[in-house]
Each structure stands twice: as structure tokens, then as C-alpha cells.
Amino acid sequence: MPSLVTGFLVDKIGRAVMAIASAITLLVSGILAAIPTDDSMVVPITALVLLGLGWNFGLISGTAILVDATPRSTQAQGSVDVLIALSGVRRRLICNVVAHSSYAALSIAGAVLSLLFIPIVIWAGINKQSKV
């Protein structure tokens, strides 16, 4: 269900705007996840919901950008889908970050990395989207 809404937003307000929204959502998620809580589950649950939402924004807007940038005759979408699946190997490396430091360190690192999306989107000039 979120992908239907995200797809609509990507088409209506633009790929670049949604990619930046993804970065900001992931940043907020990482910051919230790093906040220590006592017994309340509100902050961790909110952080996880924002993580999923930010991921969805990024995946849908990124897929739209990829489809717009490649000719229809190429297999780019399938190749990217395979790379996304293979990126699960990186999860093991990320688990080592948590094992040797803390969940808060992982959350802050993820939040900071999400900020890299914004200059990349601006630098790439993705605002020039094709008309749907």
C-alpha cells in the first residue's frame, strides 16, 4: 500500500523531491533510533516506521529515476533489482558495527549517510524528469 501512495507522489511532486524526502526521513529515523529510551516503545517504533517509509521513498523514486534514465531496450531495472538483493551481504558488515560499538552508533552512522543523497540528487540534476 505505501508504494502506491509513494508512486503517486513521485509522479506528482517529482523524483528528486521524493529522493530528498527519503534522505530526510532516513536522517530523522536514525536520530530517533539513537535516542535511549527507558521502558517506552514509542520512539523505537516511530524510528522503525520512518526507516521503512524512508526506504520506500528512496526505492520508488530511485526506480523511477533509473527507468527515466535508461532506454526501454535495456535490462537496467532487473540488474538493479539483483544488486539490491545482493546488498544483503553488507548486512553482515553492519552487524559487526553493532557488535563492536552500539545500536546508537549504527543509527547515527545511518543518519549521516542518508544526508549524502541530497547533494548527489542535486549534483546529478535529477529535477529534469520526463512527463508521465
3-state secondary structure the chain: CHHHHHHHHHHHHCHHHHHHHHHHHHHHHHHHHHCCCCCCCHHHHHHHHHHHHHHHHHHHHHHHHHHHHCCCCCCHHHHHHHHHHHCCHHHHHHHHHHHHCCHHHHHHHHHHHHCCHHHHHHHHCCCCCCCC
Return the pLDDT at 132.
44
pLDDT at 126: 59
Cell numbers for 75, please give them.
Answer: 535490462
What per-residue confidence (pLDDT) applies to 70?
78
Asked if residue 56 has pLDDT above 90, the reply is yes
| pLDDT tens digits, one per residue of 71-117 | 776 666 666 766 666 666 666 677 777 778 887 887 887 788 788 87
pLDDT tens for residues 11-35? 999 999 999 999 999 999 999 988 8
pTM above 0.85, yes or no: no
Segments making up each domain of the chain, as ranges? 2-124
